[in-house]
Amino acid sequence: MRQQVSGSLMHKVERMMDDDRTPAIATSSCVPSAAEISAVAAVLRSGLLRQGPSVERLEREFCARFGARHAVACASGTAALHLAYQSLLCAGDEVLVPALTFVATASMAIAAQAVPVACDVDADTWLIDLRDAERRITPRTRAIAPVHLFGNCCDRAAIERFARRHGLAVVWDAAQAHGARWRGQDVAAWSPLVCFSFYATKNLFTGEGGMVCTDDAALAAALRSRRSHGQDADGRWQELGFNYRLGDVPAALGLAQLSRFDAMAERRQRNADRLRRGLAGIPGIRCQTITIGCEPAWHRFCVTVDEDALGVDRDGLAAHLAARNIATSVHYPRGIHQEPFFVRRFGCTSLPVSERIGARILALPVHHDLGDEDIDRIISEVRRCHRSECGRR
């Protein structure tokens, strides 16, 4: 009988068993370097803990590294999405979002008094399916929020043609796509709004934090006001805003980490390439297809598991790896349209591709602190699981 996804696997829970015999392989690594610790300590000693010079410098250097014209730091990737939606949408406006994404892509549209409309995803790239999205357009549709899922870029040209044809604004959710490029251009340089997260598991991590990038100076000024209660440069409150400021402590961590970002990204790419080669040909294991022209960020390396071909389902493979001290995680076990809150609010919707992927998807470790021997061990254990004893219940 197929195992059911338990409550402990609902979103982002690592499965790992304690075993002193083999080193543990975690799904992510967020250990700061000595330089990063020193940078944070310097801010702590200064007493300037709130938003200040470190935040301003992080914004400048983020632009310089990733090609954005303006960058506005904020408290989280969720806050970044809320600020972006608030800048473009009015109450009752509809925004098209992929069903296979983190909940904030949709929930922050609701926070901005808009209505998220879940769309199915492409069966290969797992990114928003524009054919399905087109069927869901109504006279109230005002925007589309494509997600660069796991660091795989959306096809910018296709999205922008779609948006122009239907008169839609675009909010790019790049929470998992730091450094990803499409046709040679970093996603941070896209317009009008690009949202990043600096959560602890992200490719650039500060524990919590986020960034909104834009090519519009007036829009950047409005975002800066709204992240600080809607206050203008003279200290007057001009509009509704929030306390979405980023402090100088996490900003100092991010600043110092930028100096090793390229090395971390190169390691992720090497690990992903090795995983793709090593997993190729294993029956029942299918990797995400990378968009043509994309240089992915490899935030996560996810596969889908076909039980009939592999001889074990997704949870069985995860259990086999956990027993050998290799952690995995499920991103995402359900489409957002299947989450209880969205069902209660918007009713039931059938999005079969997203549902099928959610039932089969598994994230394997790919992070920057893994070496070739770690990747080879993961590949070896997945191969061992094919038609082996781990598939018998």
- Residue 124 C-alpha from the chain's centroid: 18
Classify domain 7-29+261-391 by CATH architecture. Alpha-Beta Complex (3.90)
The answer to whether 378 touches 371, Cβ cutoff 8 Å, is no
User: Strand 70-74 vs strand 210-214: parallel, antiparallel, or unpaired?
Assistant: antiparallel
pLDDT number for residue 389: 58
- Write b or e for each residue in 104-136: b if 16 or more Cβ atoms lie within 10 A of its Cβ, otherwise e: bbbbbbbbbebbbbbbbbbeebbbbbbebbeee
Q: Is residue 12 annotated as a catalytic residue, yes or no?
A: no
User: Are 355 and 338 within 8 A, CB to CB?
Assistant: yes
Other CB atoms within a 10 A radius of the CB of residue 218 amount to: 9
Three-state DSSP at 359 gives helix
pLDDT given for residue 387 in this prediction? 63
CATH topology match: 7-29+261-391 vs 34-258: no
The one-digit pLDDT tens for each residue of the chain (393 residues) are 333 344 444 333 344 444 456 899 999 999 999 999 999 999 999 999 999 999 999 999 999 999 999 999 999 999 999 999 999 999 999 999 999 999 999 999 999 999 999 999 999 999 999 999 999 999 999 999 999 999 999 999 999 999 999 999 999 999 999 999 999 999 999 999 999 999 999 999 999 999 999 999 999 999 999 999 999 888 899 999 999 999 999 999 999 999 999 999 999 999 999 999 999 999 999 999 999 999 999 999 999 999 999 999 999 999 999 999 999 999 999 999 999 999 999 999 999 999 999 999 999 999 999 999 999 999 999 999 886 756 554
Could you tell me what percentage of the chain is helix, strand and coil, using 3-state DSSP and rounding each to the nearest 5? 40, 15, 40
Phi, psi at 231, each rounded to 5°: -85, 140
Amino acid 21: pLDDT: 62
pLDDT for 266 equals 98
Could you report how far apart the first and last alpha carbons of the chain are, in Å? 8
Give me the half-sphere count of Cα atoms (radius 13 Å) on the Cβ side of residue 105. 31
pTM of the model: 0.94
In order of 72, 114, 115, the CA distances from 93 in angstroms are: 24, 5, 6
Question: Where along the chain do its domains lie?
Answer: 7-29+261-391, 34-258
Rg for the chain, CA atoms, rounded: 21
* Residue in 364, 25, 370, 54 with CA at minimum distance from that of residue 206: 54
Catalytic one of 82, 142, 148, 202: 202
pLDDT at 15: 43
Vertex 200 angle, CA 171 and 169, to 5°: 0
CATH 3.40.50.880 fits 34-258, yes or no: no
